[in-house]
Amino acid sequence: MASSASLHDDLASNPLLQDFEFPPFDAVDPKHVRPGIRALLKKLEGDLEELERNIEPSWSKLVEPLEKIVDQLSVVWGIVNHLKSVKDSAELRSAIEDVQPEKVKFQLRLGQSKPIYNAFKAIQESPDWQTLSEARKRIVESQIKEAVLNGVSLEDDKREHFNRIEQELEKLSQKFGENVLDATKKFEKLITDKKEIEGLPATALGLAAQSAVSKGHENATAENGPWVITLDAPSYIAVMQHARNRSLREEVYRAFATRASGGQLDNTEIIEQILKLRLEKAKLLNYNNYAEVSMATKMATVDKAEELLEKLRSASWDAAVQDIEDLKKFSKSQGASEADDLTHWDFGFWSERLRESKYDINEEELRPFFSLPKVTDALFSLVKTLFGIEIESADGLAPVWNKDVRFYRVKDSSGSPIAYFYFDPYSRPSEKRQGAWMDEVFARSRVLARNGTSTRLPVAHMVCNQTPPVGNKPSLMTFREVETVFHEFGHALQHMLTKQDEGLVAGIRGIEWDAVELPSQFMENWCYHRETLMGIAKHYETGESLPEEVYLKLVAARNFRAGSLSLRQIKFATVDLELHTKYVPGGQESIYDVDRRVSERTQVTPPFPEDRFLCSFSHIFAGGYAAGYYSYKWAEVLSADAFSAFEDAGLDNNKAVQETGNKFRETILALGGGKAPLEVFVQFRGREPTPDALLRHNGLLSVPASA
């Protein structure tokens, strides 16, 4: 009796199972995960059985109870998964590993429920179908499509095979991501001789000394060292762009390019398995390859995606060839011994020197003008102008997972709260995965409203990995880090400013994957808008504004190496599609052969022979971008075209900017997944999208010679 009573007490106090207004991020420990998730799954299984028993093809007897089940799982599992991304530990990994199969099993049981599937079909075939709102029709259609892709129509033995594949894929992608984090963490280079790190800017030296302190060299200083170089983005990028020591660049580049490709952390076999299982899954569902499965829920088709990539590839090629010629010429003029033999660990360094010489811009010298507090102030002021919203600090209202995390409230023009978000800005290599992302904590929902309100408000989190504050200085950012904050905030805006009350298509839910990058990439354009940039760029100590000529140089430098950068994304997107369409697991060609073959067609310089980039390509092996990486370019076409609506209206005309901003808010940001993205775009822009604005913004539009 005592043991079951204490188990009951444990569950009653388990933070994952409380009825919370905001997740108890500060109270959840790895020890809560196994009992918490198991108790939740048991409850949801009961709810699902009850739903199936009493099911009717109506909104209240089908969709509302279904939304409650889906939401509880996504909120609680979301907390656990989020903590794994930002506060990783061996205990948390092991707890997740134990309960993950049970969670996947429940998701499959839910996704393959015949009664739910049949009830959705009945709604679609009923005489009332035409009376449903567009959002409700989209929910029904997508639930039917998802059920089929979840294997609902498979016979018993095939369904069991399908379920085994899903379990295995979930395990493999989890392991893939852990290997990348561990391999990134594993590399540390201790440097004691200042000559070895000549060229590294003060911020990078401060960061390297801070890393050394955290590794036990408590007397390390930026001035005298010792310094620790890691593969974490702020450290890696600083070395590749600024270290004069070519052999240091080579060592760090090789370590980065071969992460997770050997020893205990080798992802090669995992990739093979993932691709083999994805292909098996596609065949079970009667598709030719996994890319077709992926495209079933996207705007594009395989052919359309390939066609766009080829169009952009040919538009970028000559410019990229010229980029390399410029680097060779410039490095030669600087007396570089490697000028005739430039290779992968030289491009970043010489590009940076050429940028400094050509535009007289030094990224590092600009950092004092881009302090995080100024960047967020300017961003919040911009969205107030564009979308009529107020953002205010609400620290202390919600528990957080780290002392550096900020919490904010979003209010509409009448002063009522409409959303909240967390912001976790700095890199923490020992526990936080790389990259930057936004995700939902809660989606907006009528059905899940609390405490007598009419709707539950959306809550998001935004995570970046930028340079942390060093000593008593705030986080001083590179311009790229500024763009990243704007990008992730674009995602958050679409989640938070939704006016859609049907939870299953509110915010970012239910939007075709290749359209979700539209608002994020759209927001990046504002970093080059004079008023916005001048609002950000104030020296953190003196308050002086960025000089006008520097602003003009930044704008001029925007398309520096645009051809090369465009081809880099096209290479990633093409290798992703190639691996998910033509590659035969266990066949003549290895994954690295495919990567090399694609590189030869999409890169103007020969590939690095030992390159094992695929082993850390988390987007497609541990994230949601499998046969979907092309989405960045697809959505960039949409976002550039959307921004060109503001250019057409006149960026200096405040009234026109506000009117266009309001239209953007009422369409792209408001309608969520409740309307097909192409229709949403046309409603905003008045026509279908074209790639012209993207090519023009990148300086890649071949201008016909005038007669």
Cβ neighbour number for residue 597 with a 10 Å cutoff: 15
pLDDT in tens, 588-604: 999 999 999 999 999 99
Question: pTM of the full predicted structure?
Answer: 0.89
**And the tokens for 553?**
């140089």
* Spans of all domains in the chain: 14-153, 187-258, 300-359+561-702, 367-558
pLDDT in tens, 9-53: 678 899 999 999 999 999 999 999 999 999 999 999 999 999 999
- Residue-level pLDDT at 323: 95
Q: What average pLDDT does the segment 442-471 reach?
A: 94
Work out the mean pLDDT of the chain and round it to a whole number: 94
Query: Cα(first)–Cα(last) distance of the chain, in Å?
Result: 93
Q: What average pLDDT does the segment 621-647 reach?
A: 95
Cβ neighbour number for residue 650 with a 10 Å cutoff: 12
- Residue-level pLDDT at 5: 54
CATH topology of domain 300-359+561-702: Neurolysin; domain 3 (1.10.1370)
Return phi, psi of residue 57, to 5°.
-75, 60
pLDDT for residue 704 is more than 60: no
Q: What's the CATH class of domain 367-558?
A: mainly alpha
pLDDT in tens, 404-432: 999 999 999 999 999 999 999 999 988 99
- Residue-level pLDDT at 485: 97
pLDDT for residue 646 is more than 70: yes
- Residue-level pLDDT at 2: 46
Active site residue 488: yes
Return phi, psi of residue 161, to 5°.
-60, -45
- Residue-level pLDDT at 3: 52
pLDDT for residue 705 is more than 50: no
CA torsion sign for 267, 273, 275, 277 is: negative
Q: Which residues are bridge partners to 383 per DSSP?
A: none
Burial 161-180 (b: 16+ CB within 10 A, else e): ebbebbbbbebbbbbbbbbb
Is 367-558 the same fold as 300-359+561-702? yes
Question: Does a cis peptide bond (omega within 30 degrees of 0) precede residue 226?
Answer: yes
Which of the residues 488, 517, 578, 636 is marked catalytic? 488
CB distance 436 to 59 below 8 Å = no
Q: What average pLDDT does the segment 261-278 reach?
A: 97
Residue 397: name the closest of 376, 413, 419 by CA.
419
What percent of the chain is modeled with pLDDT above 90?
92
Superfamily of 14-153 according to CATH: Endopeptidase. Chain P; domain 1 (1.20.1050.40)
- Residue-level pLDDT at 702: 61
For residues 20 and 435, what is the distance between their CA atoms, to the nearest angstrom? 29
pLDDT for residue 703 is more than 50: no
Burial group, residue 471, by CB count within 10 angstroms (0-12, 13-18, 19+): exposed
Q: Which residues are bridge partners to 230 per DSSP?
A: 188
What percent of the chain is modeled with pLDDT above 70?
98
pLDDT in tens, 502-547: 999 999 999 999 999 999 999 999 999 999 999 999 999 999 999 9
Q: Residue 364: pLDDT band by 50, 70, 90 thresholds?
A: confident
- Residue-level pLDDT at 10: 79
